[in-house]
Chain A
Amino acid sequence: MPNKFIHDFIVTKNIELNVSHFILELLCPEPLPKINPGQFVEIKVEHSPSTFLRRPFSIHEVNLQNNTIQLLIQKKGEGTRQLSYLKKGDRLNLIYPLGNSFQIVQHEKVLLVGGGCGVAPLLFLARILKENGNEIKILIGAKSKDNILEKEIFERLGKVFITTEDGSEGTRGFVIHHGIWRQTPFMFSKIYTCGPEPMMKAVARLAQIHRVACEVSLEQTMACGLGACLCCVVNTKNGNVCTCTQGPVFLSEELTGWTH
């Protein structure tokens, strides 16, 4: 039985969130296989001659009833700009589902920390964690109020805390400056994070101080996404391993230089 697939999906929605972020909803031509939070897809970007390789994106949410997946995408360069032009009915070639996934705990108090577009894999994760009886809090960091993504949707799954760099909403500063980290006793038994690497490293250190396991989702640049090219490695306790197959989710303590 294959567990990775390649198919032309059909765009069912392209929702603009703000000037630089959008959500693509994609209909799978075949019944969706089992997909777990943290997994990603590799997209072939058409009509963009400068985008040679596929582009990796986390799976933002899965809807088995509609047989659709959602991706939350930030416009970074040419490839993502081209994707932002997609319209309902357009086709998009995907390799999916790729990578490992977050470990789903049960009946625990968990904290999800997302920076910027790093909230992308956390929505699907939050829903599954909730279905597994966990109590969820979500800490979202953004540059400013306009860049906070999907706050209302996360609020349906747990209490949401906000930090903004300019102080336009929530606590002023980065996610690590939020008061939640100074509570005693620290109420969480597990942390999940995705966002810019310096942010995730800082969160991993706080998790270590509080003696709580922390899972991070990495974004190494990838060529194949299948474990064949060995371009996407990260250095771990077990040497260089592929982020696309052994990751993208790692326990922070496995990663060289992430904890002390």
Chain B
Amino acid sequence: MANLTTQIHRLKLQNPVMTASGTFGYGEEFADFVDLNRLGAIIVKGTTSTEREGNPYPRMAETASGMLNSVGLQNKGIDYFIHDIWPRLKKYKIPFIVNVSGSTIEEYVETAEKLNSIEELPAIELNISCPNVKEGGMAFGTSCTAAAKVTKSVRDIYHKTLIVKLSPNVTDITEIARAVEGAGADAVSLINTLLGMAIDANSRKPLLSTITGGLSGPAIKPIALRMVWQVFQAIKIPIIGIGGIMNATDAIEFLLAGASAIEVGTANFIDPTITSKIIDGINDYCERNHFTSVKDLVGALIIPEQTVDMNIS
């Protein structure tokens, strides 16, 4: 058995496999399929200061090797989470991380403040990258100033591990990563979904009620991997890799590119037991390749001598 433990700032994980927000509910939905206590951490559904209904149906369209969604942060609000959901989750022995979403800085701050006071919740993931809400969301994640401002505002009142989730819908993700690092983020997670669109040619109508939506699944993996690699060169704080991870090999690729941990999203829909298999697969890989600790994989990409790195100017 290799040492699979890893660390994101002060947050200690028994292994690097977490579940991506919005794809694993509150964990309970998968309890019949996975021993939740095996997971590195569970990142729960995007949570806002007050209840949200989300966008109208249809909210999902299957695409080549992936899917588009425009759920739009449907959730019952932070108070409901704290009083009605969290008490049920306490029995599990793993960290739960709340994905904090919002439309205004005040809203992010309000939610983060409430979570700051719950001792057993060790970290939040600040979602400044949701493409499916009209106001805020991704707008915060696509400008360095706005990203820094919301990160700083939350940092001032939140004293545990602050992860900021980045949007890929930008020209240069390293600038945003540097901005949130500068504003006090303890780690970054990337990527959220890529803005996309699907059309039904027969009806000549868009397939989503919001016309555009967020693309996830294996279709986005190469982009996510590239962004993790670029960000790894640009910042010092830990990176959590997300995007199209379907199996252990995909997860290992993200670790090699510089991620200290990973999140599994859409893959949970196709195989609800996949997280467990990925944990075993990472262990097998470490043993086979004589890595005693998974930490040794992080950024261990081998760059052959004749390589021309287009990312270094």
Contact = CB atoms under 8 A, between A and B. Distances in A.
A228 B20 CA distance: 11
Nearest to A44: B270
Given A44-B270, A53-B270, A229 B22 contact: yes
Interface residues of A, number: 30
Which of A95, A220, A226, A230 has its CB near the most chain B CB atoms (within 10 A)? A230
Contacts, number: 90
Contact of A229 (B32, B33, B69): B69
Given A229-B23, A239-B53, A240-B74, A6 B67 contact: no
Given A53-B269, A224-B29, A227-B29, 4 more contacts: A223-B60, A226-B272, A228-B23, A232-B57
B268 A224 contact: yes
A5 B34 CA distance: 11
A167 B295 CA distance: 71
Nearest to B266: A223
A224 B30 CA distance: 10
Contact of B30 (A226, A232, A240): A226
16 contacts: A2-B31, A2-B32, A5-B32, A44-B271, A52-B63, A52-B67, A95-B272, A221-B61, A221-B62, A226-B25, A226-B30, A228-B30, A229-B69, A230-B59, A232-B60, A235-B56
Contacts of B24: 228
A169 B69 CA distance: 43
B273 interface: yes
Nearest to B60: A231
Interface in B215-266: 217, 266
B54 A228 contact: no
Contact of A233 (B23, B59, B63, B67): B59
A159 interface: no
Interface string A178-217: 0000000000000000000000000000000000000000
A4 interface: yes
B35 to A, nearest CB: 11
B48 to A, nearest CB: 14
A234 interface: yes
Contacts of B74: 230, 233, 240
A65 interface: no
B122 interface: no
A56 to B, nearest CB: 12
Contacts of B62: 52-53, 221
Contact of A52 (B23, B57, B217): B217
Contact of A231 (B30, B31, B56, B59): B59
A223 B32 contact: no
Nearest to A227: B29
B66 interface: yes
Q: Is the interface of B mostly helix, strand, loop or mixed?
A: loop
B242 to A, nearest CB: 16
Question: Which 10 A-B pairs rank lowest in CB-CB distance, beginning with the nearest?
Answer: A231-B60, A228-B25, A2-B32, A224-B269, A4-B32, A228-B29, A226-B29, A230-B71, A223-B269, A231-B59
Interface of B: 22-25, 29-33, 45, 53-54, 56-67, 69, 71, 74, 217, 266, 268-273
Contacts of B266: 223
B166 to A, nearest CB: 21
Interface of A: 2-6, 44, 49-50, 52-54, 95, 220-235, 239-240
Contacts of A225: 269
Contacts of A227: 25, 29
Nearest to A2: B32
A6 B268 CA distance: 13
Contact of B60 (A50, A221, A234, A240): A221
A229 B270 contact: no
Contacts of A228: 23-25, 29-30, 268-269
Nearest to A244: B29
A242 to B, nearest CB: 10
Contacts of A50: 64
Contacts of A221: 58, 60-62
B30 A54 contact: no
A3 B56 CA distance: 30
A240 B53 contact: yes
A2 B34 CA distance: 11
A232 to B, nearest CB: 8
Contacts of B56: 235
B142 to A, nearest CB: 24
A30 to B, nearest CB: 13
Given A52-B66, A233-B59, A6 B269 contact: no
